[in-house]
Chains A and B, each alone.
Chain A
Amino acid sequence: MLFNSIDFAIFFPIVFALYWFVFGRSRRSQNVLILVASLFFYAYWDWRFIAIILISITTDYVCGLWIEKSKTIQFKRSWLALSIALNLGLLCVFKYFNFFVDSFIEVFRMFGSNLEGPAIRVILPIGISFYTFQSLSYSIEVYRGRLKPTKNFLAFSSYVSFFPQLLAGPIEKARNLLPQFLSKREFDYSQAVSGMQQTLWGLFKKVVIADNCAYFVDHCFENPMGLNSPTLFLGILCFGFQIYCDFSGYSDMAVGMAKLFGIRLQQNFRSPYFSRSIIDFWRRWHVSLMEWLKDYVYIPLGGGRVSSIKVYRNILIVFLVSGLWHGANWTFVIWGFAHGIVFIMYKIIRKRRLQTESVAKTVLSIIITFLLVNILWVPFRSENLNEASTYFIQLFQFDFSGGLQFPRMTRFIVLWTLIPLMMAIDRFTDDADNPLGTFCNNWPLILRRSLYLIIALLILFVGGDASPFIYFQF
């Protein structure tokens, strides 16, 4: 059930009305509805994978309680290890099994062996990387003594399976989200309006920008050999905006819909394409994942309090994990590795020079970072490394013959008229989690409602062909 589908447009208002009008009497009944609705939402895609969420929920709930009960650090560690092993085990089996087996066979084939792959292919359960990481954060926080384990299984289950953010985050830390399920939610009119604004804005980004960009991206990546350099370059920028609007659009909708249930989720994007460096970019892009990796991978490895060499090693590990987290494919590993290298290089350069902040320098830094990030999207978007290298080779032929080789140029022009407008409004996310609201809340009511109507009409009339969210596959 996609957020931009008719099925969801029927499902959501029903759950919303039941939540406030029938189940709104107590925290317990609110959580019952959230859990049932979330499991239904997940089962709508494939009911068999409900078992995986339930395993993850039960394991971390039990481990959390036993970590606290354990008297010695060894026992605490054992329970934490069980939680980590089970969550990562699920990820390994369902997400990486095919990848590891294929890579293993490929290595053997390089040495002349004629090894055949297994007949079984494991299906990837949608959103598994998100909810296993979220559930795991609870056990780790309890182990570290930052969070008291909850005895309320219902609240904990609702925290892990909360449907607006179940499939593609934000990956909420237990200490932020779980306490909200431990108290009764009250309806807040202004929060609900803010939630609607954010949902509308997210839908606009997904349907109007991302889905339209997808058309031109597919055109470029399906056959880069027949296209000239300017077309391929714009194809990369289109993918940059596609993935940003697809993912941040989803996050906006998730945060917005959560507000309608009286739940506050964290902001996942802060205008990443206005970053002044790659370090700045990673503070603004997929914030919840980077915070997770920082807290649970980078800091346990020693973080920044070790020798420079070890710091660089830690950074590289974080980015390799980030790459692998995104998908079981070498293209993601290369993408993560490349970001790690650029991140380290920037850290070294920054150490050796004084920081001066002129407007020209800031603008230049933003442009350079934007281009760098976009160039690095090529392996991310490619099906395999061959496809990525073909794209780069063709791009750097510097073939400027002919004009832009895009079909449906009118659509292309409309899209590139809307992108700067979207970016201008989205710039407000720097300080606020609701860009559209921040942009127009001071306007007179009639103008504000007219703006909503224009956005809704653009969604209905200018939207691209409906497609699933890219991050669902991760």
Chain B
Amino acid sequence: MHHHLFIFNFDVKKFILNTALFIVLLSILVLAIHVFFDSFYDLKNEQAIYVWGDSQMYYGLDLENISNNTRREVYSFAQEGSGIYEFLNFVESVPRECTVLISISDPLVLRDRNKERNLTGYDFGVLNEMYKEGYEFMNCFNIVMENIRPRKPWHQSVQLLPALDHLTITEPMSYYLGFYSRISEDYDIRLRLIKNGLRRLKEKSCKIINIDFPYHHELKNKVESRDVRQNLAEAKRGIFIGDFGFIMRSENIECSPTCMFDYTHLNGIGAKNVSELVVKSLDANNSGTFLYIE
């Protein structure tokens, strides 16, 4: 008697079809809710200032100070642990001819894929771009799954970190040194994606300021001579200044007793100082500034 590998079972097929139909309906509903949500938070104000970065940017700018000094709305998309998907999503979200403040930090390039925070809703074009540049299907799938719940993508004020007379140890030194221990496998992919994002912002005729936030001198002394740090600094300058013609501006900030809250984050006083420098840079008549803070 001849046996087929597969068994035909009408009831099972009917059950699977009904379940699949339910999942399709559910997916359509989820997408519809996302479209509604996105339209609700859609930003069209080209006079506004749009901010993106990870925790250094989140705690490193006094949004209200910038808003008051420029008399413009400030929308910050900065979040702790922000990933490359959030950057590209941000680039797609901002209106043409707007002003953007970004911070391409070292961890953005060096952080593990599974430690990236990529929670700014759906943009399947961006996912496709990431996939083409080398992200795996499962990475993109995980981003889709993690973004099922819509979230408000921006905020307009931040509780800045307190100015204390001592350094707070939120993570041990080894945590930060870990970033610079080797060139991550995503290094080239991320740099390519950053370039793509900047190109897109340029196409939108946006005025861009990239802020390079300082490290505490203890950390800086330990990482400055490392190959990864030097390579990355060179690569970033190559992209911003070499490829996109940004103007380099180095600035010192002075605070008493310190500008830093921990090894990598500015405290409230430091954030205010940087915000004032940013306001000055906004007045400058060039489309791209690389603001290096020391």
Contacts and interface: CB of A to CB of B under 8 A. Distances in A.
Interface in B137-184: 141-142, 145, 148-150
**Interface on chain A toward B: helix, strand, loop, or mixed SS?**
helix
A457 B26 contact: yes
A189 B14 contact: yes
A25 B30 contact: no
A22 B29 contact: no
B13 to A, nearest CB: 9
Contacts of B3: 25
Given A6-B145, A453-B25, A461-B149, A193 B15 contact: yes
Contacts of B11: 187-189, 192
Contacts of B26: 453, 456-457
Interface in B1-49: 3, 5-7, 9, 11-12, 14-16, 19, 22, 25-26, 29-30, 33
Contact of A25 (B7, B14, B141): B7
B15 A21 contact: no
A17 interface: yes
Interface residues of A, number: 21
B9 A24 contact: yes
Contacts of A460: 30, 148-149
Nearest to A260: B15
Nearest to B30: A460
B34 to A, nearest CB: 11
A196 B19 CA distance: 9
A449 interface: yes
A88 B53 CA distance: 55
Interface in A9-61: 17, 20-22, 24-25
B7 A22 contact: yes
A255 B89 CA distance: 42
B14 to A, nearest CB: 7
Contacts of B29: 453, 457
A457 B16 CA distance: 20
A22 B15 contact: no
A474 B15 CA distance: 35
Interface in A419-474: 449, 452-453, 456-457, 460-461, 463
Contacts, number: 51
Interface string A187-210: 111001100100000000000000
Main secondary structure on B side of the interface with A: helix
B30 A20 contact: no
A20 B22 contact: no
Contacts of A189: 11, 14-15
A365 B141 CA distance: 51
A457 B30 contact: yes
B24 to A, nearest CB: 11
Contacts of A17: 16
A453 B32 CA distance: 14
Given A189-B14, A460-B149, A461-B149, A449 B22 contact: yes
Contact of A20 (B12, B19, B33): B12
B241 to A, nearest CB: 42
A346 B12 CA distance: 50
A456 B141 CA distance: 19
B7 A24 contact: yes
B9 A21 contact: yes
Interface string B115-154: 0000000000000000000000000011001001110000
A56 B280 CA distance: 73
A22 B5 contact: yes
Contacts of A193: 15
Nearest to A19: B12
Contact of A452 (B12, B16, B22, B150): B22
B232 to A, nearest CB: 32
B142 A6 contact: yes
Nearest to A195: B15
A20 B9 contact: yes
A449 B21 CA distance: 11
Interface string A101-133: 000000000000000000000000000000000
Nearest to A460: B148
A378 B241 CA distance: 61
17 contacts: A6-B141, A20-B12, A21-B7, A22-B6, A24-B7, A24-B9, A187-B11, A187-B12, A188-B11, A196-B19, A453-B26, A456-B22, A457-B26, A457-B33, A460-B30, A460-B149, A461-B148
4 A-B pairs closest in CB distance: A20-B12, A189-B11, A460-B148, A192-B15
Given A452-B22, A463-B149, 6 more contacts: A6-B141, A22-B6, A453-B25, A456-B22, A460-B148, A460-B149
Interface of A: 6, 17, 20-22, 24-25, 187-189, 192-193, 196, 449, 452-453, 456-457, 460-461, 463
